[in-house]
Amino acid sequence: ARDPVRVLVTGAAGQIGYALVPMIARGVMLGPDQPVILHMLDIPPAAEALNGVKMELVDAAFPLLKGVVATTDVVEACTGVNIAVMVGGFPRKEGMERKDVMTKNVSIYKSQASALEKHAAANCKVLVVANPANTNALILKEFAPSIPEKNISCLTRLDHNRALGQISERLSVQVSDVKNVIIWGNHSSSQYPDANHATVTTPAGDKPARELVADDEWLKGDFITTVQQRGAAIIKARKLSSALSAASSACDHIRDWVLGTPEGTWVSMGVYSDGSYNVPAGLIYSFPVTCKNGEWSIVQGLPIDEFSRKKMDATAEELAEEKALAYSCLA
């Protein structure tokens, strides 16, 4: 039998946590043959609720779940973990300044970075979900210098999946037949959802989505804004933010990272920019990536038109501003 993999979920008593931990325990993230030990971290005011989640995990009798650590102690939570999904963070409340929210999250991600660096298993892979996701991941990278930058990422897979969903609805095709959309940049409304390279599997072979949609105005307009604003639309409808889709896409992100992307398919991940596509190095920016042997690489050589260039630059600019704001909060 395989050794269990230890998976940390921070903010585990929250909405996304509640949807995510059963998926992990069922094998959705790491496969149906991979036993797991769940580490769940939350803060003291949520300790009782966290314990309730632990009770439900016991009650669910998941065959793959070999142990549960539920704690408010960061060191205990991080010790020995192979995968860390960082969902905990400080939410923006009404009337709060951006800088105040950033200060809170910078301090959370700075201290959790140190705990992971000192106590996680070697080669631990980190996924930051909590907003501002790209910048939280950047702070984590800066304060965990011994964790290789290739092991630190942020979630834009939800946006990627939303883009696949929009194309599938528009064309009345199965979502599983649509692939290779791209989310460029920040997980915020400045992100650029790009369908220029997307394809749709048809009985006659793969066809460019752009040709099948045959409506550039939609692709450059409502398609982009619908994906950008989808989070707000869910809040409006549910009076709560996305949780099941966020949890599901976090599983997709880790699964593809660890087990590899299918041949001919790429996905979107927020990763440390090496300057590809003239995106400034030193930002955590969402790119199209393929994964193999547990490592991602940015898909190279895609032609970028002028419309795309502008959108890619605008979201990079926003990330540079966020980075500057985060650094000013360190002082």
Q: Does 294 bind ligand NAX (CB under 6 A)?
A: no
Q: Which stretch binds ligand NAX (CB under 6 A): 163-171, 236-244, 302-310, 321-329?
A: 236-244
| 62 vs 90, beta carbon nearer ligand NAX | 90
Distance CA 74, CA 80 (A): 12
Residue 301, classified by CB atoms within 10 Å of its CB into exposed (0-12), middle (13-18) or buried (19+), is exposed
Say which residues have a Cβ less than 8 Å from residue 296's Cβ, sequence separation at least 6: 150, 153, 257, 269, 271, 289, 290
Q: Does 107 bind ligand NAX (CB under 6 A)?
A: no
Give the x-and-dash track for 246-265 against ligand NAX (CB under 6 A): x-------------------
Report d(CA 267, CA 288) in Å as an integer: 5
List the interface residues with ligand NAX, window 145-204 (CB under 6 A). 155, 158, 187
Q: CA of 174: how far to CAs of 134, 198, 202, 215, 245, in Å?
A: 30, 14, 10, 19, 17
Catalytic-role residue among 39, 187, 197, 253:
187
Distance CA 97, CA 99 (A): 5
Contact in structure between 257 and 296 (CB atoms under 8 Å): yes
Number of residues that bind ligand NAX (CB under 6 A): 28
Q: Rounded to the nearest whole angstrom, what is the least distance from the CB of residue 87 to ligand NAX in the complex? A: 5
Query: Does 119 participate in catalysis according to the annotation?
Result: no
**Binding residue for ligand NAX (CB under 6 A) from 8, 129, 267, 298?**
129
**Of 35 and 231, which has the nearer Cβ to ligand NAX?**
231
Which residue from 42, 49, 22, 126 is spatially nearest to 90, judged by alpha carbons? 42
Contact with ligand NAX (CB under 6 A) among 124, 133, 164, 224: 133
Residues carrying an active site annotation: 187
Feature table: binding site for NAD(+): 11-17, 42, 105, 129-131
Feature table: binding site for substrate: 92, 98, 131, 162
Binding site for ligand NAX (CB under 6 A): 10-11, 13-17, 41-43, 46, 87-91, 108, 129-131, 133, 155, 158, 187, 241-243, 246
